[in-house]
Amino acid sequence: MTALPDWMRPPRPEGWFAEDLDRLPEAPRHTELIDGTLVFRRRPQRSWHGRLVTALTTTLMAQAPAGLEVEREMTIRLDARNRPEPDLLLTDLPYDPDRTWYTPRNVRLVVEVVSPESAHRDRTVRLRTYAEAGIPHYWCVEEENGTPAVHVYELDEPTAVYAPAGIFRGTLRRPVPFEISLDLTKLTPPRRG
């Protein structure tokens, strides 16, 4: 068995805290903190996942009104022990080239594209934790026969849980968090053969 590198050892007996992620230059690029535990992407992302995240990012950037920014693969500091990295987020903060994370109060939408490795976290853990953090909108994007199906949730503020707002296939039109219109069939190239 290979010994762990020093950077993987928690800096204190209580384990890892959110600010520790900014002090781990040796960590893999997509490292998250979930309940005080470092989580690494274990497998390379599929091309479908990468293409879809890129297409969603550019399409939402083109439609977002002034005052809203779209970010890809940036962490959200939910609390001292949780700093997940969604595939995409929408924020009301202006672009800052030195920013490494956001707070929930400035995040309007989180988008997770489900992969086999992240399916459980995306469908259950993130659904709960993003709602508890007060993020108003959550999209969980699943692959159905090579095309995206978007499960849309809106925060019910009195209960602090997400209410399903629909499953969108083919097209997605939403009035919130801004006027959005997506042709889901054009976000990824069609499968061949």
110-142 pLDDT per residue, tens: 999 998 888 888 999 899 999 999 999 999 999
Distance CA 147, CA 125 (A): 24
Q: What is the biggest distance separating any 2 CA atoms in the chain, rounded to whole angstroms?
A: 54
What number of H helices and E strands is found in the chain? 3, 12
- Looking at the DSSP bridge assignments, the partners of residue 31 are 40
Q: Supply the CATH number for residue 142's domain.
A: 3.90.1570.10
Among the listed residues 41, 40, 33, 43, the one whose alpha carbon sits nearest the alpha carbon of residue 11: 33
CB atoms within 10 A of CB 153: 21
Residue 44 has a pLDDT of: 64
Establish if 32 belongs to a structural domain.
no
* Residue found by looking up tokens 């599929």 in the block: 46
| Other beta carbons less than 10 A from residue 45's beta carbon | 16
Domain that holds residue 80: 47-186
Q: Count Cα neighbours of 23 within 13 Å in the Cβ-side half-sphere.
A: 11
The answer to whether residue 191 sits within a structural domain is no
CA 190, CA 193: separation in Å to the nearest integer? 10
Question: What pLDDT does 43 receive?
Answer: 62
> Amino acid letter at 178?
F
Say if 20 falls within a structural domain.
no
Task: State the CB neighbour count (10 A cutoff) for residue 184.
Answer: 21
Instruction: Tell me, yes or no, whether 150 lies in a domain.
Output: yes
Counting the structural domains of the chain, the total is 1
Asked if residues 54 and 78 have their Cβ atoms less than 8 Å apart, the reply is no
Q: What is the mean pLDDT of each run of 10 residues along the chain (193 residues)?
A: 80 88 84 83 76 96 98 96 96 97 98 91 92 97 94 96 98 98 92 67
Please state the separation of Cα 113 from the chain's center in Å: 8
The reply to whether 36 falls in a domain is no
Q: What integer pLDDT is reported at residue 128 of this predicted model? A: 94
* Residue 1 covered by a domain: no
Assess if residue 9 is contained within a domain.
no
Q: CA 40, 162, 188, 102: dihedral to nearest 10 degrees?
A: -50
Residue 42: predicted pLDDT: 60
Please check whether residue 31 lies inside any domain of the structure.
no
Model confidence pTM above 0.85: yes
